[in-house]
Amino acid sequence: MTYQEIIDKIKPEMQKAADDFKAETLKLRSNRLSPALLEDVEVNCFGSFMPMKQLGAIANASPRELMVELWDRSYVDGVVKAVEQAELNLGVRINDKTIYFSAPPLTEETRQNVIKLLDKIKEEAFQTLRRFRDKAWKDMQDASVKGELREDDKFKGRDKLDEATRDFREKIEGIAGRKEEEIKG
């Protein structure tokens, strides 16, 4: 086993961590509402819980208003109750089986709280990258002890692994920076 094979094996997991981070940032509130904010809100429909994205189409009606066009009128009460329980602080307007959720402009205090949450999510993503990096480094060390990887290749591999980890950290930093600018408006 070469150090490159170990790195190639861990890269998709690091990419998934970056993708998961990006998906989480879409759920954070900024001046522009994203349909991702509502997609995974669990709604009680006839005794079973379902994500809202399975109950209807979610789209932007305007930058600060989301429109949920439900497949069935009977979902309306459950959807409204679920959004209230999620404490998203959204105003509600109902038109038959279409629900409009509007958001007031963010206050400075709310912006700071959302940025703190963004930083927390970013740190969790960094911790995930570190775990993957540590696992790959351990695999390289184990391969070296078994004689499958030369000592100098192990250290070349560590340098390449650090480079790959740095690249994914920079991706996450970039995503976080863009989201923070969006939050600040």
Report the alpha-carbon distance of residue 70 to residue 68 in Å, rounded.
Answer: 6
> What's the pTM?
0.77
- For the chain, residues with pLDDT lower than 50 are none
| Tokens found for residue 1 | 């086993």
pLDDT at 63: 83
Virtual CA dihedral for 135, 178, 36, 67, nearest 10 degrees? 180
Determine the Cα–Cα distance for residues 126 and 17; give it in Å rounded to an integer: 9
Residue 36 near residue 23, CB atoms below 8 Å: yes
Q: What domains lie within the chain, and their CATH numbers? A: 3-26+107-184 (1.10.132.20), 36-102 (3.30.1360.40)
Q: Which pLDDT value is given to residue 45? A: 83
